[in-house]
Amino acid sequence: MSLLVVGSLALDTIETPFGKAQETLGGSAVYISTAASYFAPQVRLVGVVGGDFPEKAMSFLGERNIDLEGLQRIESGKTFRWSGKYHYDLNMRDTLFTKLNVFEKFDPKIPEAYRKSKYVCLGNIDPVLQRKVLDQIEKPKLVVGDTMNFWIEGKHDELMKTMKHFDVLIINDSEARLLTQEPNLIRAGKKIIGMGPKILIIKKGEHGAILLTENTIFSAPAYPMENINDPTGAGDSFAGGFIGWLEKSDDISDENLKKAVIYGSAMASFCVEKFGVDGLNDLTHLKIQDRFRSFRDLSKF
């Protein structure tokens, strides 16, 4: 099996009520790939960075056995940078600046060796680029896509075309409501499944996640966290754990999709404990399994 991840790589400056991180490694492709690397034997990453991308960051990705053949490095350019400040309600944040730099003209080129990847996860990049990636892939078994408010509002028609190529769509509750103009999440979910994806996951932050398929509605709990330092990347870590488990098990039955949601939730819970990707560093399979069992126990009564 093989897993391809396409998305952004960034240097983030993050401030929360509990601390600050300056130019820490971030971006959707980084969080997805790092979380997935604990399950998939090899993760193939496609993205773009500038000549200023730190060697320490390259080493971090390499140590996680993430294949970087598809990483474009533009020596004359600068890496995408983002800065945000979170409030005590960590669902609320202010974006202080966004500097796209080399990411502004990102043109994903899939290496020949990647084109037969069976599992594909697309971060929340332009839906036109998501489609361009899929045009270069030969018969993937499962395509997981993400999007965001910016594309829902700014490129709605293009997103509608792209969603028809997704097997799984992962969005949060506000995005689901915006996409469907439907306040009820179950009704919104059924509408979205009618738009193309066969499987939908609606993330609800500290309230867990909902999995919807044609035959299943599964509500996963949130892990009761005592220490949340930085919520950046939690959604992408969820996506990485989700698709990483599916690639490892090579099983997309409804029952295994439920397990994948729990593994995704587990990886998101590790992510928020520290700043940037530090929460996903140096995990063990035993620790992940313990967190998985804790989630499972929360669902029993």
Over residues 255-268, the pLDDT tens digits come to 999 999 999 999 99
- Distance CA(45)–CA(17), nearest Å, equals 32
Distance CA 299, CA 143 (A): 28
The yes or no reply on domain 3-298 and CATH 3.40.1190.20 is yes
Max CA distance (Å), the chain: 58
Q: Judge whether residue 200 has pLDDT over 90.
A: yes
Mean pLDDT across the stretch 103-111?
A: 95
Report yes or no: 67 and 43 within 8 Å, Cβ to Cβ: yes
Report the C-alpha gap between 233 and 15 in whole angstroms: 14
Q: Where are the domains of the chain?
A: 3-298
Beta strand residue intervals within the chain, DSSP E: 3-6, 10-16, 19-26, 43-50, 66-74, 81-86, 93-99, 119-122, 142-146, 168-172, 199-203, 209-212, 217-220
**How confident is the model over 226-256, as pLDDT tens digits?**
788 999 999 999 999 999 999 999 999 999 9
Give the Cα separation of 249 and 246 in Å (integer).
5
CA-nearest of 186, 299, 171, 170 to 243 is: 170
Q: Model pTM?
A: 0.96
The yes-or-no verdict on residue 300 having pLDDT over 90 is: no
Match 């037969």 to its residue by tokens: 116
Q: What is the average pLDDT across 76-84?
A: 97
What's the rounded mean pLDDT across residues 2-27? 96
Name the phi and psi angles at 94, rounded to 5.
Answer: -110, 130
Helix (H) or strand (E) holding 45: strand 43-50
* pLDDT exceeds 90 at position 185: yes
Which sign does the torsion angle of CA 155, 161, 163, 166 carry?
negative
Per residue in 52-73, pLDDT (tens digit) is 999 999 999 999 999 999 999 9
What are the backbone dihedrals phi and psi of residue 69, each rounded to the nearest 5 degrees, phi first?
Answer: -60, -30
Closest CA to 122 of 153, 166, 79, 161: 166
Structure tokens at 280: 């996903």
C-alpha to C-alpha distance for 129 and 92, rounded to whole angstroms: 29
Total Cβ atoms within 10 A of residue 158: 16
Give the Cα separation of 290 and 301 in Å (integer). 19
**Does the CA dihedral 91-264-176-29 come out positive or negative?**
positive
Six-digit token string for 208: 């867990």
Q: Is the separation of the CB atoms in 78 and 50 below 8 Å? A: yes
What is the per-residue pLDDT across 21-42, written as a single tens digit (0 to 9) for each? 999 999 999 999 999 999 998 8
pLDDT for 296 beyond 90: no
Counting every residue, how long is the chain?
301
Token pair belonging to 179: 């996409």
Predicted pLDDT of residue 301: 64
